[in-house]
Amino acid sequence: MAYGGYSYLDKKYKPGKDDFVVLFWLEGHAKIEKLAEAVASESSVGTWTKIHTMNEKVFREYRARVYKIVKVTENSGFVFVAYPWEHFDQKNVLQFYAGVLGNLFGLKELEECYVLDVKFPEKYQKQFSGPGAGLEGLRKYMGTKKTKRPHVGTIVKPKVGLTPKEFADVAYKAWVGGLDLVKDDENLIDQKFCPWKKRFDLMAKALDKAEQETGERKLYSSNITDSSIDRMLERLDYIKDSGMKMVMLDVYILGIPALMKMVEEAKKAKLFIHAHRAGYAAHHRGNFGVNFAIYERFWRMIGVDQLHIGTGVGKMEGGALLIKRFHELAEEYKIPEKFYLGSLGQTWIKKIKPFFSIASGGMDPGKVDAAVALHGQNVIIQAGGGVHGHPKGTLAGAKAMRQAVDAVVEGVPAPEYARNHKELELALRKWGYIDPNTITTKFKFERQNKRMLTNLVKKKGMAGIRAIWEI
């Protein structure tokens, strides 16, 4: 079965070490084989009809190859496609987007087209520098390399509306209460009620005061995201000259070119990069979409130091098995394929260092034990409402979060620790407690039922994967 006069099916083909491998879910009005060929054609060398300008060299060396199809119905299935290294413009990430994440979504034969994952060859990775500091660099700066405790942070709430002084007062209470990080929210930058420079100056003073009083390093993640590169660079230089250490970027909103520029400049200035993923779900959730894991891989290669990846226990979508996979993509160097999660394997080269995962969204002290059961201790647990909504206010809320982290490091369940820590006790009374066994039980279920999960996906298709993503 050919598409446009040429066949892209090659089930005898084995991807080479320099090939890109992409996993698609496709469903549509034609047989799955034709849908697969259409996608391979549109994303590489072909078009809808046979053309006189095609030659043997182009077709042989540059075409995409459909080397595996896991058929679910006559008109749907999982499609594995290999693309040759030569197909892509080196270090031009947008050319990759235009090809693999571009026109194919508009093919009228398709009712569903979801790009589940991409495996990047080592040759492609070598073009990127990876995180400047990453997980270990942040731990070294913060003084937690020995304890390996989770970091804990907050987002000043309400998201927008506070004056600079009100904002800094909230931050100061959070820091002296024991938190490591205070950050702007994704939609607070330079509004009239809270101008960026005035807010930053007051935050710098509050941070210095908190460090002196607590004897601990603190971080402020200042949002410099802007439609103007020049304004972002001005803010970045101001942060560098002030002696502060971190910038925040809305990485999905910025897009690849602006992000790569700002990451490059932040690295030169020796600033940590806090990456907020606001907006990604518009492409991640739906029948036509791109999995967050693909963005995460790009952002690790480009070189962010911290990235929101979901919680598995909070208010954002994504169950424990899926979020654990995102954490593995952030922290591990060698990651095996998990077909039932729609996830390809990946081996990172050494310079693409791990970054610090952020668990944020609906977090509170009662979820800390469960979050650590999911992520391990290499995680930044970030709570907004779960700090500022404490019955006794922000200072008590920060203390409760830090107490929950101290408890998990000591191996003491939070409810037991709360008997002698009133702030934690009040937090648990308000928000409740998630037993970490609810998480470990899911991982045990996964280990014992991989074949069953795989068969479920082969039978149910993308619906099966989505069900597993919510476990």
For the chain, list the domains and their CATH numbers: 20-125 (3.30.70.150), 134-438 (3.20.20.110)
Q: What is the per-residue pLDDT across 222-255, written as a single tens digit (0 to 9) for each?
A: 999 999 999 999 999 999 999 999 999 999 999 9
Q: Which residue in the list 218, 276, 353, 367 is annotated as catalytic?
A: 276
d(CA 424, CA 421): 6
Is 422 considered catalytic here? no
Is 267 considered catalytic here? no
d(CA 339, CA 458): 10
Cβ atoms of residues 190 and 419 within 8 Å: no
Region for residue 6 given its phi and psi (left: phi exceeds 0; alpha: psi -120 to 50; beta: otherwise): beta
CA–CA–CA angle 337, 338, 340 (5° rounding): 150
In the numeric block, which tokens belong to residue 296? 């995460």
pTM of structure = 0.94
CA-based end-to-end distance of the chain: 38
Amino acid symbol at 383: A
pLDDT for res 4: 56
* Confidence band for 5, pLDDT divided at 50, 70 and 90: low
Which of 352, 351, 348 is CA-nearest to residue 334?
A: 348
Q: How many residues comprise the chain?
A: 471
Q: What percent of the chain has pLDDT over 90?
A: 83
Q: What is the mean pLDDT of residues 139-149?
A: 96
Amino acid symbol at 92: N
pLDDT for res 245: 97
Amino acid symbol at 462: M
pLDDT for res 60: 76
For 121-133, the DSSP string reads -HHHHTT----SS
Q: Is the peptide bond before 336 cis (omega within 30 degrees of 0)?
A: no
Q: Which helix (H) or strand (E) holds 356?
A: strand 356-360
Q: What are residue 248's DSSP bridge partners?
A: 223, 274
Q: Is 15 in a helix, a strand, or coil?
A: coil
In the numeric block, which tokens belong to residue 42? 């549109």
pLDDT for res 283: 79
Q: Which helix (H) or strand (E) holds 320?
A: helix 320-331
Region for residue 328 given its phi and psi (left: phi exceeds 0; alpha: psi -120 to 50; beta: otherwise): alpha
Q: What is the mean pLDDT of residues 200-204?
A: 98
Does 7 or 307 have the greater pLDDT score?
Answer: 307
Q: Which residue in the list 151, 157, 338, 367 is annotated as catalytic?
A: 157
pLDDT for res 382: 96
